[in-house]
Structures are given as structure tokens and as C-alpha cells.
Amino acid sequence: MSCQSLEGCRHEILTFSSSPHAKEVGFRQKEHRSKASKQKSDSIGNTIEESSFPAPLVLPEDDLALDPKYPAQSLLSWQRLKERNAVTRRRNVIYVAAPPGFDAAVDEVDSWTYPNTSRKTAGSRNDAFPKAHPDVKDIIEYLSAFYRGMPVKLLPSPLDFASWEDEKAPHKSTSSRRTKKPKSEPTIIGLRTASENIRVRSRLSPDSVYPAQLNLDDLLDVAISVLPSDAYALLFLVSHDLYEDEDDIFVCGRAYGGSRVAVISTARYDPILDDIHGVDREHAWPASHCERFVEAMCLEASTSMPAKKKAKGFKGGTSSSPILLSSSPISSSSISQSPLHLALTRYMSNRPDTALLHLIRASLTAAHELGHCFGIDHCVYYACCMQGSASLAEDARQPPYLCPVCEQKILLATGGDRMERMQRLRDLAERWGWASLAGWLEGRMAFKQTEVI
């Protein structure tokens, strides 16, 4: 079976466990509860938890497949993290900086926010040309629900791209990471704040998907310079494609938790680029847990391995042995109304259009990067929106919800209420037409289960 043979797949059986590839690479799902607390919830409690929160998929080339021993950050280790910034009365607001405007002198910079492919064709999917980028007001609305308990506000001082008059002026980076010195001096533009004009380097896009890219470190410097005194964290939203080091093809964003800032780009999340980035929209979450799809991904990867490496990966068989999924801890017949099943049912009957899909992807990345500002590391316990991601294809397969471990961290940091938070997210999902998330939250809230961490 290959992934190409799954066209028209109905996702009849869902898997709640990690893929067979997880065992091949040495990934083992981490326990997050003590033996005593696990015994208290026993069979029914575990069934509810597993049906709500499947294990990480760990498909070939996924982040955890490449780094299966990534350390887990427990709730206790997060609470003891010395580098974590505390929410205080003086610093308790999440700010979002809107994508910058443009001076007339640099109006060509606006054209850099649209992919080259949209100038030639709408893509093999016949997606419509994007009329607008995700609206910052919508992203603020989502973050207000996601981080319920803390105010989320638009940065009041607008930012604007401007000309950079003195290209030879020295620039001192304040971010903790340095960009490698480029082989040739790139084009430089300015980004004007209320008090200064900050240098921002740019370059041609190495894969020609976008006309040009902006330097991420320079944008992080901008975010640090405009951080309000009452800010717990600031998210700088940009519509341009980004790079960090000269070796990068592109980056989608970065958070510097210690500095309380994050920058994300919405550029590569444009659905018109899905074919370029290998995004299987048919098996995006929640359909990413389709058993046939998981089996096909593992089989395709095994048959494409070099013979020697492939043989080493199989135990008790030859390189041509088929990969079969182990029995899922929960089958479709045992809990047909699990949150994941409800999410899939809603997804199959009401899939998002490209504009909503772009907004959803940008919102999830914004929530993820701000999570790092709260000191939350990448999650290895469950499929979770705080998981690390090795590709845009993996991004699309990951869920929009927090697992019980990461959710508890956020609730403790924000002072929010679990049920109220879920209700706000569900209301938003219904308004947006985000059917899959609305279905998952409907099932989750119906259980009325409080996890023991």
C-alpha cells in the first residue's frame, strides 16, 4: 500500500497509539503520572484519557522520529524551571504586533508577501488566489480563548517598513542567537517603530517560492525594542517569508522565552503551497490518525530505505516483510463517540476552505510559539499542539489541542479555568466554522473528566 493509493480514503479505523516506526527508531511514550494516581483512575479513567489524547504518531521523518530520546518536561520540572518568567501584576498582558505597513519608498516589499506560484497558477488543487493574509484580529481572538485568564491585546504602536538611508551603519543584535555572516551584503530595509528605524536584512528566496525573505533575528530585535512594560510576552506577526541562517531555506518563526518575544510568519502556511511542501490535506488532523494512512506512511518509508538500513530496521523478518499496525488501545467500535471520532465526523462533513485553513495554521503556530514564552518545552507525552515539528507536512498532522500535561501548565500560568477555556474555544470554533476542533471539544467536554497530573 502506498500513500497514493489512499485517494478517497474514508478513515474508517483510527489509531490511538504511535506508529510501528516509533518502535523502529526507539521512541517510547512517556508516563506523566505516578503509579498511585494511575491506579486511582484505573481502566475507565485510562480509557477516557487515551481516547481523548492519542500518543504521538511518530511517522517517518517526524520530529520525534529524528530525535526519539528528546527529554520530557513534566509538570514538576516546568514548575521548578528557573528560566521561566512568572506572570505578575505588572507583567500580565500578551501583546500581538500586527504585520507592518509600508512607506511609499518601499512599497515593493508588499509584493514579497505573495508566493511566486500564485502569479502563474492557482496550483494543482485550483485553490483561489489569496485576497488577504490572516487577520491579526482573528488571531488575537483565538489567543484570547487559548490563553484564557490573561488579556491579549493588539500592540498600540504600529510598525512600518521604511527605507534604510545609512546601509553602512553598524547594527548590534540584541537577540541571543547570531546569524552567520552572509557571503555578500543583502538588501537592507528599515522597520520604523515609534522611536527608531531598525535595520532588517533581506535576501532572495533560495527556493524561489517567495520573491524575497526577511531576517528573523532582526525582527526579533524589533520585537524586543517595542516590548511594553506591562507585557508578559509579545508575538510579532509577519506576512513575509523568513530565514535565520544563510543555510536556511526558510523558517516559520522562533520564540525567545527568556526575552518574552516570539516572531512567526504566516507565509509558508498558505494552502496554495501545500503541494510544494508535501502536505497531505486529506490526512491532516484529525484524519492523520487514520490507520490505513499511518500504515501506508510506514510502509512507503521502509521500501524507500537502502537495503542494508532497511534490513536492520526489521526484527524477525526480511526487508520485504509488510508493516502491520499493532492493535490500537481503543478501536472505533469501543468508543465511537470519543473526541477524536467526533472531530473526524465533523471534519468529513465540513472541511475548512483555504482562507480558514490559512488562519487556523497561523493561529496554531502563534499559540505554540507563545507557549515557549511560558517556558513550555516541546511535548513528548501525547499528540499535542506543543509537539515539535520537522516539516510543514507534520505540522498539518498535529492536533490543535493541548494534552493534559501542557494544558495544566497553561492553566497554572494564566489562572484560567479548564471548562471555561474549552467552552470559549468551542464557541470560537463554531463561529469560525472550524468543525473538527468544535467536534473534539464537544466530545472532550462531554466526558467531564479532570486529569490527574
pLDDT along the chain (453 residues), means of 10: 66 94 95 52 47 93 97 96 94 98 88 80 47 91 98 96 67 44 62 96 95 96 97 98 96 94 97 96 96 93 51 29 36 63 94 96 98 97 97 98 97 96 98 98 78 46
Beta bridge partners of 162: 190
Bridge pairing between strands 253-256 and 241-243: unpaired
Residue 141: predicted pLDDT:
98
pTM above 0.75, yes or no: yes
Classify residue 362 by its DSSP letter: H
Describe the crossing of helices 418-432 and 354-373 by its angle, rounded to 10 degrees: 150
C-alpha cell at 111: 509584493
Rounded CA-CA distance 424/274 in Å is: 30
| Calpha distance 371→378 (Å, rounded) | 9
Supply the pLDDT for residue 332: 41
Is residue 429 classed as helix, strand or coil in its secondary structure?
Answer: helix
Size of the chain in residues: 453
Structural contact between residues 57 and 18, judged by C-beta atoms closer than 8 angstroms: yes
The answer to whether 214 and 205 are in contact (CB under 8 A) is no
- List, in sequence order, every beta strand (DSSP E) within 240-357: 241-243, 253-256, 261-265
Q: How confident is the model at residue 132, as a pLDDT?
A: 76
Nearest to 180 by CA among 253, 100, 245: 245
Rounded Cα distance between 259 and 256, Å, is 5
Specify the pLDDT at position 191.
Answer: 97
Query: What is the per-residue pLDDT for 179?
Result: 42
234: closest CA among 366, 81, 102, 146?
366
Q: Whole-angstrom Cα distance, residue 217 to residue 223?
A: 10
Per-residue pLDDT at 103: 87
Q: Rounded to 5 degrees, what are φ and ψ at 452?
A: -100, 115
Give yes or no for a contact between 119 and 112, defined as CB atoms under 8 angstroms apart: no
Residue 336: per-residue pLDDT = 62
